[in-house]
Amino acid sequence: MRIKVENLSFAHDLSITMPGNTINNFNIEFEQGNFYSLLGPNGSGKTTFLDLLTGYLKPDSGNVLFNDNNIISFSKNQLSRKIALVSQEYSINFPYTVKEIVTMGRHPYMGRFLSLDKKDKDIVKHIASITDINDLMERTITCLSGGEKQRCVFARALCQQTPVLLLDEAFSNMDINHSFNLLKILKNMIRDNKIIVISVFHDINFASIWSDKMIFLKKGDIMAYGTPNDVMTEANIKKVYDIKAKVEHNAFAKAKQVYFSTN
């Protein structure tokens, strides 16, 4: 699987939305077996870019290609077998059980009667186990904490078994232990199944530890793209966030980390 973005541009109607969520002539490729992080200030275009990759938004110009096939050529069901999305905000008021929510991840593969076969049940059982939600499966989603809901939605996305996984601040409501567990699962899937993971982060240090490539955005432009070692620089932090910082390699984290001063 390869995603190729060609001359992609998009601008919201500023009369009905907040300004800043634009995409200005993006040209970039995402290769299988890699973890990509999207970083930048609020309104830099991170979520808008993910919405274009899912087909939720239509570009003003340019193309999103999946293995050289334009995203607009796929049906919703076909796309749901290619892309799974975990959003920061997931609101549901109907008291579905967690098991029902997680099982929804298998819907793209079900027959006309929407019944689970043994393979589907085995996948749901396995994902529930590795994401540590077995004890939540019979509870209703409306009774869970924000972090518990997020883990369930994450498990649903993993049940889709797509070659592309998009994460929009997917770890913001989770404690550090569950965040690390899910990131380890993703790194194993990237290694074993060669999937593509594209994740929006606000925590630069977190992104540096887990990413193969980092993409810094500002006002709809790609300001820097490359490995954490290449693009995690004091000059780029200043250029993107307009703040002075110190960047150095941290032996314990085994990655570059950024430090800020209150002075």
For residue 131, the model assigns a pLDDT of 95
pLDDT at 110: 81
Q: Give the pLDDT of residue 115.
A: 79
pLDDT of residue 90: 67
pLDDT of 138 reads 96
* The CATH classification of domain 2-227, taken from the options 3.40.50.300, 3.40.50.1980, 3.40.190.100, 3.40.190.10: 3.40.50.300
- pLDDT < 70 stretches in the chain: 13-20, 89-90, 111-114
The pLDDT score that the predictor gives to residue 113 is 60
Q: What is the DSSP string of 190-218?
A: HHHH--EEEEE-S-HHHHHHH-SEEEEEE
- At 112 the pLDDT is 62
Tracing tokens 């032996």 back to the chain, one arrives at: 251
pLDDT of residue 86: 95
CA atoms within 13 A on the CB side of 201: 22
